[in-house]
Amino acid sequence: MKRTYVFYAKSVAIAAALPFLVYAFASGPEPGHTGAPGEKGTCTACHAGTANSGPGSVRVEFPGGENYTPGATQRLRVVVSDPDQVRWGFQLTARRAADAASQAGSFTPADANSQVICADSGLNQQTCSAATPLQYIEHTQAGTRSGTRQSAAFEFDWTPPSTDVGNIVIYVAGNAANGNNFNSGDRIYTRSYTLAPQAASQKPSISAEGGVVNGATFQPGIAAGSWVTIKGSNFGSNTRVWQADEIVNGKLPTSLDGVSVTINGKPASVYYISPGQINVQAPSDDSTGPVPVEVTVNGVKSDAVMGNLQRFSPGFFPWPGNQAVATDANFNWRAKADTFPGVTTTPAKPGEVIILWGTGFGPTNPAIPAGQVVDQATTLAEAPVIRVGGQTAEFLGGALTQGSAGLYQIVIRIPESAPDGDLPVVAEVGGVRSPENIVITVRR
């Protein structure tokens, strides 16, 4: 009876420990579960079930497409999704296609949701060092985000080898778990990607003349929180604007497809990228005067070009014909007829209240930091003087546009004595004037 009791007691202890042993993998699995050749398998080694049998998926998002530039760091994003699950994990490694036992590059966590582990050639976990041949990146316990439904994303940096090693294969396994702290009911998804090498990117270059300008007027002079246009060459191969899912909790993205910008050493929010032009919102900064502006493309940084940072850099966004973007109080467009095919546009009238749309009008009350979507009502800290056709217009108010960023609404009344015609509309604030080539069409 004593032997039976001892066995029973041990069985109870082991059974009681099992949930904790399984739960321990919430802090990340052991090396060798990505599905790479010669590994222990995938996460199904610890979580019951058949890989890729559920309704979800795992994917890796590459900023510049499925290729790599030797030595150029990329910010990778792993997304694990499943409509039924509430807890998440992953493990990923990079191997040379010509030799699956050879590591290809190194990983660096971007936040507390992921971690790096290393292993010897026998897949025994080791302290990471230059002599450790294999490296993995995987979730942490914080990264499992228990209770999060539908999907979860993990971001981290991957630096490929400094020389061309031929094709590189990325192996990834994702765990969409049900959160019961057992290995039952979890779903494992796997995928691999083959990345081809590309020639080292040409160094991005900002134009020395007119390379850093106001995003509305294309004139020199930029302001913190204002829209800035950067012109040059070798800004990557993609052309696009940010997508809605790249704005997270109201925070604007500071990189699109491996393209980023710093102004005075601070990251700018990137709205638009193309091979020859980038549009960004300048970061918050109390500095004034010449500041360095740099563009980085897939880890390759441009030479700095100096931009003139000012407290104010007022400018109105233009429509065709250098017409100021303008609406009436009901947001009907105010412009000369036939400005846009198929769209009704009407000139402004003397005495009419209109809204002009611009950037660079300076601080607001309350202050809104650059890089985030405006989510509250604001007023301009310093009222501008607006002239229409040389006459001072009644200024009725100014504010940042809620639901946007760096976009100001300037409300004025067209002077009663304004003549018919295309009249210059000029803003002045803090001793800085907007260009006089922007007009508004007035008709009685």
**CATH number, domain containing residue 319:** 2.60.40
Do both 259 and 320 map to the same domain? no
Residue given tokens 């193309």 in the structure block = 274
Residues 275 and 320 in one domain: no
Burial 361-386, CB ≥16 within 10 A → b, else e:
bbbbeeebebbbebeeebebeeebeb
Q: What is the mean pLDDT of residues 221-229?
A: 97
Given 249, 282, 310, the domain boundary residue is 310
Type of residue numbered 327: T
Residue 348 is classified by DSSP as: B
Last residue of some domain: 149, 177, 197? 197
Number of domains in the chain: 3
Amino acid at 28: G
Per the structure, the complete domain to which residue 248 belongs is given by 206-310
Main-chain phi, psi angles of 162, to 5 degrees: -75, -15
Based on the domain organization, do 118 and 185 belong to the same domain?
Answer: yes
- Rounded Cα gap, residues 194 and 391, in angstroms: 64
Report pTM: 0.61
CATH number at residue 227: 2.60.40.10
Pair (353, 267) in one structural domain: no
The predicted-structure confidence for 362-376, as pLDDT tens digits, reads as follows 999 999 999 999 999
Q: Which amino acid is at 439?
A: V
Whether 299 and 320 map to the same domain: the answer is no
Tens of pLDDT, residue by residue over 21-69, are: 333 346 678 999 999 999 976 665 555 567 898 999 999 999 877 888 8
Are 366 and 272 found together in one domain? no
Q: Does one domain contain both 72 and 191?
A: yes
Is residue 12 a contact partner of residue 33, using CB atoms and an 8 Å limit?
no
Domain C-terminal end among 166, 197, 228? 197
Long-range interactions of 341-350: CB distance < 8 A, separation 24+ = 347/441, 347/442, 347/443, 348/414, 348/440, 348/441, 348/442, 348/443, 349/414, 349/442, 349/443, 349/444, 350/414, 350/415, 350/416, 350/417, 350/418, 350/442, 350/444
62 and 179 fall within a common domain: yes
Note whether 284 and 332 are same-domain residues.
no
Question: Coil, strand, or helix at residue 198?
Answer: coil
Residues 44 and 112 in one domain: yes
Lowest model confidence (mean pLDDT) among 67-71, 111-115, 271-275, 278-282: 67-71
What is the per-residue pLDDT for 5?
30
CA distance 176 to 162: 34
pLDDT of 181 strictly over 70: yes
List the CATH number of the domain containing 106: 2.60.40.4060
Q: Are residues 346 and 384 in the same domain?
A: yes
Q: What is the pLDDT of residue 300?
A: 85
Whether the pLDDT of residue 328 is over 70: the answer is yes
In terms of domains, do 222 and 238 share one? yes
